[in-house]
């Protein structure tokens, strides 16, 4: 308890009472109150002392912190709230550019050290050298005020990559510096199907730029510059469409794609020689039109029969017992229409011919293609999401890739090449065959691509590097795919 101090009152100040009253004079010691300002000062001092005691108690209480750095984790007990003593206790030293993040997981504080790495960024003819902890390509480009346009592409260590991929780890080639190259889209002109249009692309070749623009190169089409030529700014790409012609020959029928102007030129281009005693319908001087059917009518010497090869049809029948995307083919065969004529010859020249009868030998049988309509089960939920640099792709994992498409005709090989339409694994290019970078997706991997279906990684390509895949389609198929980013699922 605080006691109020007193002091004696001087005699001259004491009051004097009348003597008649006979009263005694008593000198009291009045109390003096302490000023309010001094009371507030005393209270503040007491509060400060109390707070210091509480803080000291809390600081002195050790707490556990898990330090994660360089692939290892160490739990330390500390009374410090600063990062430096914690890292020192864990034997971790920070280098220039290293980053430290804090989190609380499972009731314990976690201190993570992200080591910085050298990154070299090249864009618009300028090279930047930065040292940074792991970050996405987009974050690094934003740091350097580099803006990506819609069709610009990014290469990380020479491989096609998404702007969302994290970089910062040393290069897979052993180079301590990660290389990021920004490839700008360049303008070019496409002249195809009777019109010209200006567009842009950052794809490296003419073939890839045409696919990105939605232009399908069919068999026999002439493309200038060549499909394998590099795409350069202001290039004019001309696509001359070949016409499909069905040839019905004694040896069978086939479809050829030609730019020839007349039937005779088309036959010479296809290496077809009209033997003596045979004729061609329509006439060799007739013009070639798309979808034209040309047949060679062979008359054997002294024979009064004419054999016309009749192509079988292909019918598509829905089958509810099969999954969507599955097919079953019941092969048919072509037929031969035999006409017997009565022919009159004068000096070896037919003067007239009269039809006696006609029959099929054999009769043509249509090929039936049964296609499934049953909705397939959904792909398995992704158990582990794959990321850049993943060592393996587990079934159920997902991968974000840039998906384009190709056909045998757009692969760059001429139709006369024995390897035309044959993949790197020896199977023909068709729907369900996908070209990949084997260092990202091993050959033989089964995939599920939304909007395309189930497929297998069975082909490679010179321009397929990194996180980009090429979806296979057969020649003549209707292409229902638009190049773009897609999340695929690893099936097995």
Contacts of 413 (CB under 8 A, 6+ apart): 419, 420, 421
- Stretches where the chain sits below pLDDT 50 are 1-43, 46, 52-59, 171-173, 301, 345-348, 378-391
Domain that holds residue 71: 60-114
Same structural domain, 357 and 314: yes
CATH of the domain at 163: 3.10.20.90
Does residue 9 lie within any of the structural domains? no
133-142: pLDDT as tens digits: 888 999 999 9
* Domain endpoint, select from 224, 240, 256: 240
Same domain assignment for residues 357 and 389: no
Q: Decide if 2 is inside a domain.
A: no
d(CA 176, CA 113): 19
Say if 245 falls within a structural domain: no
Domain check: are 154 and 227 in the same one? no
Q: What is the pLDDT of residue 299?
A: 65
In a domain, residue 109? The reply is yes
Q: For residue 371, is it within any domain?
A: yes
The confidence score (pLDDT) of residue 486 equals 95
pTM: 0.49
Clarify whether residues 384 and 492 are in a common domain: yes
Amino acid 304: pLDDT: 75
Q: How many domains does the chain have?
A: 5
| Same domain flag for 339 and 362 | yes
**Residues paired with residue 110 on neighbouring β-strands, in sequence order:** 66, 103
Taken in order 280, 284, 285, 288, the sign of the CA dihedral is positive
Same domain, 95 and 198: no
Residue among 300, 436, 317, 421 nearest 367 (CA): 317
Same domain assignment for residues 448 and 390:
yes
The closest alpha carbon to 458, from 468, 466, 446, belongs to: 446
pLDDT score, position 39: 39
The answer to whether residue 363 is domain-embedded is: yes
Regarding whether 312 and 208 lie in a shared domain, the answer is no
- The CATH number linked to 342 is 2.20.230.10
DSSP one-letter code for 147 = -
Q: What is the CATH number of the domain that holds 213?
A: 3.10.20
* Structure confidence at residue 95 (pLDDT): 72
DSSP secondary structure string for all residues of 384-448: SB--TT-S---TT-EEEEEEEEE-TGGGS--TTSTTTTB-TTSPBP-TTEEE--TTTS-TT-EEE
Note the pLDDT tens digit of each residue in 176-211. 789 999 999 999 999 999 999 999 999 999 999 999
332 and 407 inside one domain: no
* pLDDT score for 349: 52
Q: Are 405 and 211 in contact (CB under 8 A)?
A: yes
Rounded Cα–Cα distance for residues 166 and 305 (Å): 75
pLDDT for residue 250: 78
Do 338 and 356 fall within a single domain?
yes
Shared domain check, 84 and 157: no
319, 243, 332, 323: which is closest to 288 by C-alpha?
243
| 104 shares a domain with 121 | no
The CA dihedral of 432, 438, 443, 446, to the nearest 10 degrees, is -50
Residue 24 placed within a domain: no
**Domain assignment present for 23:** no
From 355, 376, 397, give the residue that closes a domain.
376
Domain end position, chosen among 376, 409, 436? 376
């Amino acid at each position: 308890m605080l006691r109020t101090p007193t002091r004696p009152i001087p005699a001259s100040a004491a009051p004097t009472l009348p003597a008649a009253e006979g009263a005694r004079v008593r000198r009291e010691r009045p109390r003096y109150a302490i000023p309010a300002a001094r009371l507030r000062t005393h209270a503040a001092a007491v509060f400060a002392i109390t707070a210091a005691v509480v803080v000291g108690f809390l600081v002195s209480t050790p707490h556990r912190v898990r330090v994660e750095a360089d692939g290892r984790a160490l739990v330390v007990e500390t009374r410090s709230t600063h990062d430096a003593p914690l890292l020192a206790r864990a034997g971790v030293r920070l280098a220039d550019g290293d980053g430290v993040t804090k989190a609380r997981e499972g009731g314990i504080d976690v201190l993570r050290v992200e080591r910085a790495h050298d990154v070299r960024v090249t864009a618009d003819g300028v090279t930047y050298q930065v040292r940074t902890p792991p970050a996405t390509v987009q974050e690094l480009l934003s740091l350097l005020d580099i803006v990506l346009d819609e069709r610009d592409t990014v290469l990380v260590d020479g491989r096609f990559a998404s702007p969302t991929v994290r970089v910062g780890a040393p290069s897979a080639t052993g180079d301590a510096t990660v290389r990021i190259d920004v490839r700008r889209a360049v303008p070019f002109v496409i002249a195809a199907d009777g019109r010209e249009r200006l567009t842009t692309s950052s794809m490296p070749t003419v073939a890839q730029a045409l696919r990105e623009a939605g232009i399908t190169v069919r068999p026999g089409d002439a493309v200038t510059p060549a499909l394998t030529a590099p795409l350069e700014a202001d290039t004019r790409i001309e696509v001359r469409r070949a016409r499909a012609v069905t040839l019905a020959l004694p040896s069978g029928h086939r479809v050829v794609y030609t730019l020839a102007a007349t039937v005779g030129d088309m036959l010479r281009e296809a290496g077809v020689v009209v033997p003596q005693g045979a004729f061609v319908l329509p006439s060799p001087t007739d013009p070639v039109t798309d979808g034209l059917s040309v047949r060679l009518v062979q008359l054997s010497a002294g024979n009064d029969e004419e054999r016309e090869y009749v192509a079988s049809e292909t019918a598509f029948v829905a089958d509810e017992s099969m999954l969507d995307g599955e097919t079953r083919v019941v092969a048919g065969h072509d037929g031969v229409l035999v006409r017997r004529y009565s022919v009159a010859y004068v000096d070896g020249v037919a003067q007239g011919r009269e039809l006696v009868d006609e029959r099929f030998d054999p009769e043509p049988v249509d090929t039936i293609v049964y296609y499934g309509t049953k909705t397939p089960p959904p792909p398995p939920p992704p158990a582990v999401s794959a990321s850049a640099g993943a060592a393996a792709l587990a079934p159920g994992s997902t991968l974000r890739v840039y998906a384009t498409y190709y056909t045998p005709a757009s692969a760059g090989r001429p139709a006369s090449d024995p390897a035309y339409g044959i993949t790197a694994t020896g199977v023909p290019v068709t729907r369900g065959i996908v070209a990949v970078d084997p260092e990202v997706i091993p050959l033989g991997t089964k995939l599920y691509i939304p909007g395309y279906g189930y497929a297998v990684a069975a082909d490679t390509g010179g321009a397929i590097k990194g996180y980009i895949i090429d979806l296979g389609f057969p020649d003549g198929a209707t292409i229902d795919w638009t190049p773009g980013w897609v999340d695929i699922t690893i099936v097995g």
